[in-house]
Amino acid sequence: MSIKKRIFFALILLSLLALVSLLTAVISEDALKQIIIKHHVDVTREKASAITRILDDRINETRLLAQHPAVVAAVQESNRQHSKWDHEAVMASILQLDEEWIANRVREGL
């Protein structure tokens, strides 16, 4: 075989090798992206499930606390005291507590 033919075949082989390498890189990149996406979806689902469990636990704890006899008694006593107030006095008290709460949050930087 002549040198020109050898160089020609070598160039064809190198071109094919480059093409196969490029295709492999593209396919590998796509596969890696799919794996990363699946991983992120799985992690997101796990985190959402954990957060849901935590919130459900806190809701149940709050329900139990609200049913505790000491809390029920305190609420009933507060209702008895406030039942003597007129509507404007109750609303004024609520607004004052709300303003104090907001002021405290602002002071704390929340």
| pLDDT tens digits for range 51-83 | 999 999 999 999 999 999 999 999 999 888 878
- The residue range of the domain holding 87 is 68-110
For residue 46, being part of any structural domain is answered with: no
Q: Which residues of the chain have pLDDT under 70?
A: 110
For residue 63, being part of any structural domain is answered with: no
For residue 40, being part of any structural domain is answered with: no
What domain count does the chain have? 1
For residue 73, being part of any structural domain is answered with: yes
pTM for the model: 0.53
Distance from C-alpha of 64 to C-alpha of 58, rounded to nearest angstrom: 10
For residue 83, being part of any structural domain is answered with: yes
Distance from C-alpha of 11 to C-alpha of 17, rounded to nearest angstrom: 10
What number of other Cβ atoms are within 10 A of residue 8's Cβ?
12
pLDDT the model gives residue 1: 74
The token pair that represents 95 in the structure block: 């607004």
For residue 18, being part of any structural domain is answered with: no
